[in-house]
Amino acid sequence: MRAMSTPIAHRGVTNPPPLPPPSGPLRGADLTGERLLRAAHELLYERVGEAVSQSELCARAGANVAMVKYCFGSKDGLYDALVERVVTALVADLERPDAEHLEPAEKLRLHIRAVVRNYVRYPYLNHLINKRFLSGNVEAVQRLSETFAVPTREWYAQLLAEGHEAGQFRRLDPTLFFFSLLGVCELIFSARPWLEHAFGEEIDEQLLERFIEHTTALIFEGIEPR
């Protein structure tokens, strides 16, 4: 059965999903910057986190090598801009208009599915964020906190409070829940070589659906028998 399904985001087997669009119209050097961002998104997607050189980025973007420095200061600056573009879209997605009137439990179910799917859409995201944590670059960590961690935790705090109010959730610490929920979704992607080499599984549609179902049940009900 598994062999029938196509592996996802695996060394360029599938096309990368589109990068979220910029917030406004672009002109001049920003157009080149946008091509560089898209090139970084595509190459990092295809390589599943492996290194991409600046000349490869520029070749894919059809841009002069000097433009990385001109637009972003450095390759790290380009990657920071890519991460910021992606996490800004993820935070905007938290408040989906079509989910506005759903029950808290239903919102959380949709959210778990979205988090898992986003690790497939942006398989390089955690690696780039981790590199920033380890670089000790306070400003980069600060920006990531403001654009992603703080608004996401706030969204959890509100959802958990609403769910508790509605009798659907017990009382939970939103800060700890932030790490639990993202952590429980994340490791299968960052430790993908174990999934593939140690356990002989592959990230394909079938595994993703199994994982979403498993994770949703674990978060909602834990492991005790019904």
Binding site for a second copy (CB under 8 A): 49-50, 108, 127, 129-130, 133-134, 136, 138, 141-142, 144-146, 149-150, 153, 163, 167-170, 172-173, 175-180, 182-188, 190-195, 197-199, 201, 210-211, 214-215, 217-226
Residue with Cβ nearer a second copy (30 or 209): 209
The H-or-E segment that residue 209 falls in is helix 205-221
Shortest reach from residue 166's CB to a second copy, in Å:
10
Shortest reach from residue 150's CB to a second copy, in Å:
5
Residue with Cβ nearer a second copy (32 or 215): 215
Locate the DSSP E strands across the chain: none
Residue with Cβ nearer a second copy (89 or 219): 219
- Give the rounded distance of the alpha carbon of 126 from its chain centre: 7
Shortest reach from residue 80's CB to a second copy, in Å:
14
Whole-angstrom Cα distance, residue 37 to residue 78? 7
Shortest reach from residue 94's CB to a second copy, in Å:
16
Shortest reach from residue 187's CB to a second copy, in Å:
3
Residue with Cβ nearer a second copy (31 or 195): 195
Residue with Cβ nearer a second copy (50 or 95): 50
Whole-angstrom Cα distance, residue 147 to residue 156? 15
- Cβ neighbors of 84 (< 8 A, separation 6 or more) are 143, 144, 147
State both tokens at 27. 């002109």
Contact present, 117 and 186 (Cβ < 8 Å): no
| Phi, psi of 72, rounded to the nearest 5 degrees | -130, 0
State both tokens at 206. 């079938």
Residue with Cβ nearer a second copy (45 or 211): 211
CB atoms within 10 A of CB 118: 19
Residue 101's Cβ-count burial label (10 Å; 0-12, 13-18, 19+) is: exposed
Shortest reach from residue 84's CB to a second copy, in Å:
15
